[in-house]
Amino acid sequence: MDHGSNGGMKHGHGGMEDGGMDHSMPMKCSMNMLWNSQISGTCVVFERWSIQTWWGMVVSCAAVTFLSFLYLHLLHVAQQQDKRTAIQLYLGQRPETSLLIRTSVPALNADRDHDGSQAISRSESPLPGGRSGNLGIQKLPSSIRLFRAILYATTMALSFFLMLVAMTYNTYLFFSIILGGFIGHWTYESEMNVGAVMNGQQVKGYACH
């Protein structure tokens, strides 16, 4: 009787342990290789970024949309910085770095080519006041090189991260990336270089890097 009693107690105790283990088990990340609209059990790149509720999905989609917009924002900052640096070097000024986007970049006096774009064919071009500017290759200061390298590395990291998010094949997360790209393109692509487009020059798109 004692043996049966002990066995029953052990069995009951084991059952309690099994039940406790079931409740304490962490939520697992589901791996989907097909298009899906899953919410519970969706992990975004990291195991800690686990989505279990609709509210969690909404917050995650907002974060992904922001990261997608940030990627295009940084690309625009890099383009504006390169334009500003080129003009400052051309004018003989010391280039400066800035994360702020200015509404306009100073324009140079240049002849217009037949396609409507501004073109200067000589390595030396006259500036206002009779001065000349160098259009050849110039060495960049270390501060500018560091700034451009940081921008490039950051945009590259963001692009690969967004690629990993897209590889969840989740409908909501995927279209959050698209939404961020749409907002970014609408915000920063309000102008067109007609001459460059007519010459067949391709503008860098929404690729990995």
- Whole-angstrom CA distances from 172 to 12, 13, 24, 57, 165 are 45, 44, 29, 8, 11
Q: Work out the angle at residue 102's Cα, subtended by the Cα atoms of residues 122 and 154, and round it to the nearest 5 degrees.
A: 90
- Whole-angstrom CA distances from 45 to 32, 107, 117, 160, 165 are 12, 44, 44, 11, 6
- How many Cβ atoms from other residues are within 10 Å of residue 86's Cβ? 15
pTM more than 0.75: no
- Domains of the chain, by residue range, sit at 2-198
> Judging by DSSP bridges, how do beta strands 124-126 and 132-134 pair with one another?
antiparallel
Using the 8-state DSSP alphabet, how is residue 101 labeled?
Answer: P
| Mean pLDDT for the chain overall | 77
What is the distance between the alpha carbons of residues 63 and 161, in angstroms, rounded to a whole number? 12
Residues 6+ apart with CB under 8 A from 1: none
- Give pLDDT tens digits for 41-100: 999 999 999 999 999 999 999 999 999 999 999 999 999 999 988 888 888 887 776 655
- Give pLDDT tens digits for 62-71: 999 999 999 9
Is the pLDDT at 146 greater than 70, yes or no? Answer: yes
Task: Please report the pLDDT score of residue 42 as a whole number.
Answer: 94
Query: What is the average pLDDT across 101-106?
Result: 50
DSSP string, 30-85: P---S-B---TTEE-SSSSSEE-SHHHHHHHHHHHHHHHHHHHHHHHHHHHHHHHH
96 versus 149: the higher-pLDDT residue is 149
- How many Cβ atoms from other residues are within 10 Å of residue 40's Cβ? 13
